[in-house]
Every structure is written in structure tokens, then in C-alpha cells.
Amino acid sequence: MRNIAPAISPPAGIGDRKPANQAVLDWVQDVAKLTQPANIFWCDGSDRENAFLIEQSLQQNVLIKLNEKKVPRSYLHRSNPNDVARVEQFTFICTPTKEEAGPTNNWSEPAEMYLKLQTMLKGAMRGRTMFVIPYIMGPADSLLTKVGFEITDSKYVVLSMRIMTRMGDVAIKRLGDDANAEWNRGVHSLLDVDPTRRFICHFPQDNAIISVGSGYGGNVLLSKKCLALRIGSYLARKQGWLAEHMLILGVESREGKKHYVAAAFPSACGKTNFAMLIPPKHFAGWKVTTVGDDIAWMQIRDGRLSAVNPENGYFGVVPGTSYKSNPNAMKSIEHDTLYTNVALTDDGDVWWEGKDGAPPAHAIDWRGNDWTPDSKEKAAHPNSRFATPMGNNPVLDPDVEKGEGVPISAIIFGGRRSDTMPLVFQAFDWNHGVYLGATMASETTAAATGAVGQVRRDPMAMLPFCGYNIGDYFRHWIEIGKRLTNPPLIFNVNWFRKGKDRKFLWPGFGDNMRVLKWIIDRCEKSGGAVESPIGWLPSPHDVDLADLDVEHKCIVEILGIDHEEWKKELAGHQNFFESLGGVVPEELLKQREQLAARFKQ
Ligand code: OXD
Ligand code: MN
């Protein structure tokens, strides 16, 4: 099954809802002149349109219908095997100068890149339908909300965007007919899905994105990584807010006291699991609710940070998702879900490594080949995904549509580290917290092409997503801190530390509630901690460990720090800052010196 499919002919009343805004109409005509599609399909986001596009996708083998009884109204898509993850090496920030893109981004001069892409797009949609998708990012009535239009020649993109964004009339209405209104221009074409002609390019000064040669979500759902993070972070700096790679969750105590927390973990490090956490039995009466699982847009309101989730759905990693790891995600993806690159069982159900129960005796793997438990290959690709509307989530936060957002009490940074980083610690103050974010590191995962399991610095989990100079991004964080009269407390967590036997020391998943509870206690000024060189550390008796089946010595090990490991860590921070070539703000260099000095005391 491939994404590329010939043009479709919609009946009257479908695909003909043109917006009135002349700037949009002119831009669409320009792109059509260049790409030469057989026809233009104007999306309105309606149920009727969706049903028509699904029917066409089934006929053209873009989708497979799953067993209606087992996974109602759900479908499987198989991507080209050469196209299964984000491609950071082919992702560009195109600004007039290289300095604006900074040391962590691939850079190209905009005119040069436009020319290269236009050459590739010339006639690229011949014989295909060109879809125009209007969408908004953010709740319908939020001041932060942005309008985007994505042009694409992929029905899979249209169907996914309908899940992941608020799509159609709501965007056309929000934009109105002012030809000078701000909106994002996104152009996507599959071309021939050739990895040598795959580029994901951002033009922040033009509020424009062009993505070619891929059909993988992270490269082509332009609302998400491209607009909400790369262009979003650029706009956020200009306009005085933050666009971050963070989940947002609500946590309510037995007494009904509620806090909201935002957490930045790199791709495929458990943001969705944490955002949907079910507290262990001992915490009966506590509730965790999800505002978002991947992206937070935060503005300053009444001296605090206030966050909205710009998305409308979850695009999550499937393997490892089970009733043990994330029951709420399992309930969310049992219906109305678009799966990509998972295995198909003989009875039309989906399967993946780590799903509850025994593996099927036979299945069709993500490439479309026969698979049995004896096969050497994985049945589902390690980066196989679900796209599911957030409305499916049984623990969706009631304030998810609130335009002003939810007030953030704590920010958490965290990576996947088998050593060095303790389970949790708290920064001394805002700038120290920014330093924790800036020096974050994590083992790489299958969410991006390249080697898996290598420790790399990933500041604020934004390394692949910051749309401008990372030094200016750090400075922007420091400046935001100065404007907050009631800043969130900042923490660092690591669920993935291993003992000498190379086994995980901490059970993770629902038991992360114990860590979250300590964080909330600190926000409430009731939690105990000891001062250490790296920040405030809980002692074992500060964390509620009741009914936890973990040896005390493991707890002591995971909560503690090893000075030898930290010597290496400090050198790692220095190397990282040096690799950035002089862009790191003075305040953060000072934080490093202070950290080193505290170890010497
Ligand atoms: C994602 C990612 O898909 O970070 O969210 O890669
Ligand atoms: Mn992500």
C-alpha cells in the first residue's frame, strides 16, 4: 500500500467550500499553477467529507478497514518503508542569515531553498488531487490560537489533520476575509517519496512551510512540529510567549485542590503515558487529567504561566502501549483511530509488540509481509503510530478548550538516562531551572531516523524543534522568567535510571504519581527536601512510597547522586555549551560555574 494515489472526483457539495479570503485564494492558485494538480479539493472538515475521503482511500488502498467490532471506525495505513520517522538531517530553518537559525539547525538561504523546492514541485501533482486544509491550532476562542492552511496531495494527511487539528469552517471563520490577516502557509507534496528528495523547510519570516518527499506524520502534518513548534517558537519569541515540546496535565488531590504541570521529555520518552497516568491504589481519590500530550503554548497571565494545548488529537507511539503501561491510551485508541505501520491480525484487528495478551499465531507485518512469533522482524515498526482525537481520552481535562489556558504550577524536564540523573530534583530558582532544561540529555529513540540509544543533549526537548538560534531561545526563557511574579517551580525527572545489574531501578508508569505528588507538595510548600549541589533532592521519607514493591537500597540509589558520574556530566555541559559557539547567555555560563563550585564545597 502506498500513499500516492490518482485524483478523485467528489460529487457536488463535497470539496467545493472555497474561503472568501483573497490572500488564500491567490496563494492556492499560485501553488496550483506550479504543481499542476488534476483538480483542487477545498476541505471543510465535515463528517460527509470525511466519509467520502475514507471511502476513496479504501478504494485506492491508502487505508485498510479494521474489524468494525474490535476497533470501530478505525483504519490502518502502511507507509513506504523508507519513510517511517522524522528526518532531522533534512529539516531546514531558512532565514536571511545563518546566525538566525543558530548552531543547532540546518540552515539555507531562503531564496536558494525556495528555488530548489519550486523546481521539485513543478508539475508534482499532475494526475493527483490537491487538497486545501484550513485549520486552527489552539482552542477556538484563545488569543494564542493561530490559523494555518495546508496544501497536500495526500488523503492520509487530510484524514490525519482532521483528527490532530480543529479543521474546516472554524478556521475559515477565524481567518475572515482580511487579506492582511496572519496565517501560516503550508505546502506538502509526496513527490515520489524518495529519501533523496525529502526536505522539511521552514521560512519563519514568511510564516511558511514547505515539506516534500515524505508521508510520515511528523514531517507532513504541518500543524504539529512545523507550525506549533518550529514556526511557533519563532512567533513566540517575537510576541512574548513560549511554544514548547511539553505535555500538560492536571492533578487533583483527594481534597479537590488542583494544580497543572507542564513537562518536556524528548520524543518517545513517555509524555503521553505521563499525561494519562492512573495513580496507584494507595493514591485513591487523586485524579490526573490530560490537557495535552506533546505541545504547550504558554503565555503570561496575572504573573503566572498559562498553557493551552494547540492540538486536537494525539499522534502517539504504539509499541509498548498496553493496559499495564497506559490504560487510558488503550481506551482512547480502541475506536475512531487511524493507525500507521502496526501489524494486522487475521481477524482484522491491530497488533504490536508490547500489547496485552499473547502475540497472534499469524499476522501481516507493517511492511505487508506474513509474520509469525518466530519471525526475526518486528511485526509493528518501533515508531508505528496512532492518531486519535483527544475527545476519546477518558481523562480529558474539562478545561482543555479554555481559551485563557490553565495556570502552570510546575515545569518538569526529563530525559531517558540510564545513569547520573536521579529520579527527581528541584531547581533552586528560575534561572537554575532554565539551566536544567538547557543541559538536558536523553538517549535517542526511533521517533527520528538515525542511531537509537545514544545520549545527546536535547535542550528543553526542543533540539529538533527550535525554529531559531538556540542561544536566543535560552535568552527568551530567561527574559520570560523576569516577567513572572509567580513563576512555576522547575524540576528534573528521570524514570529510566538503571542499577549495576542494568535493570531499571524505578517501576515508572502509574508509580510516577509518587514523584508527581512530591512535586505538588513542593508547590504547596509542604514537601521535604535536602539541599545538594544539583538542587533540592527528596530523601526516601519525603516521597510517598507506601505499597511500593521496590527494595529500599534501590530507592536510595535512584534518589541519590554519584559525584564521579556528575564530574563527567559537568564536562558534558561544558562541551555542549562550547559546541554552540558562544551563543549561550552569560546567566547560564554562570549557572555552570556555580554548579561546579557547589561540587567542590
Ligand atoms: C512526536 C515527536 O511525534 O516528537 O511527537 O516525534
Ligand atoms: Mn513530540
Residue 2 confidence class, pLDDT cut points 50, 70, 90: low
Q: What is the DSSP string of 184-239?
A: EEEEEE-TT--GGG-EEEEEGGGTEEEEES---HHHH-TIIIIIIIIIHHHHHHHH
Model confidence over 141-178: pLDDT tens digits? 999 999 999 999 999 999 999 999 999 999 999 999 99
Cα of 65 vs centre of ligand 1, distance in Å, is 25
Q: Is the pLDDT of residue 208 over 90?
A: yes
Residue 134 has pLDDT above 60, yes or no: yes
Quick one: pLDDT at residue 450? 84
Q: Is the CB of 294 under 6 A from ligand 1?
A: yes
Residue 47 near residue 13, CB atoms below 8 Å:
no
Q: How confident is the model at residue 239 (pLDDT cuts 50, 70, 90)?
A: very high
464 lines ligand 1 (CB under 6 A): no
Ligand 1 probe mutation, 84, 229, 294, 463, most atoms within 8 A of CB: 294
464 CA distance to ligand 2 middle (Å) = 10
Residue 313, ligand 1, Cβ within 6 A = no
Burial class (CB in 10 A: 0-12, 13-18, 19+), 245: buried
β-strands 370-371, 184-189 pairing = unpaired
Residues 12-60 have pLDDT tens digits of 999 999 999 999 999 999 999 999 999 999 999 999 999 999 999 999 9
Residues in Cβ contact with 550 at an 8 Å cutoff, skipping those fewer than 6 apart: 505, 506, 507
Is 43 marked active-site? no
Tell me the CA–centroid distance for residue 221 and ligand 2, in Å: 12
Burial zone of 71 (CB within 10 Å; 0-12 exposed, 13-18 middle, 19+ buried): buried
What pLDDT, on a 0 to 100 scale, did the predictor assign at position 142? 96
Mean pLDDT score of the chain? 97
- Residue 78, ligand 1, Cβ within 6 A: no
For residue 446, the ligand closest to its alpha carbon is: 1
pLDDT tens digits, 433-483? 999 999 999 998 888 888 888 889 999 999 999 999 999 999 999 999 999
Atom of ligand 1 nearest to the CA of 315: 3
The dihedrals phi and psi of 71, each to the nearest 5 degrees, come to: -135, 80
Mean pLDDT over residues 91-114, rounded?
98
Evaluate whether 53 touches 155 at the Cβ level (below 8 Å): yes
The answer to whether residues 292 and 164 touch, using CB atoms and an 8 Å cutoff, is no
Whether ligand 1 lies within 6 angstroms of the CB of 386 is answered as no
83-102 tens-digit pLDDT: 999 999 999 999 999 999 99
Residue 465 Cα: closest atom of ligand 1: 4
Closest CA to 314 of 350, 352, 274, 272: 272
Nearest to 175 by CA among 151, 148, 152: 148
Atom of ligand 1 nearest to the CA of 385: 3
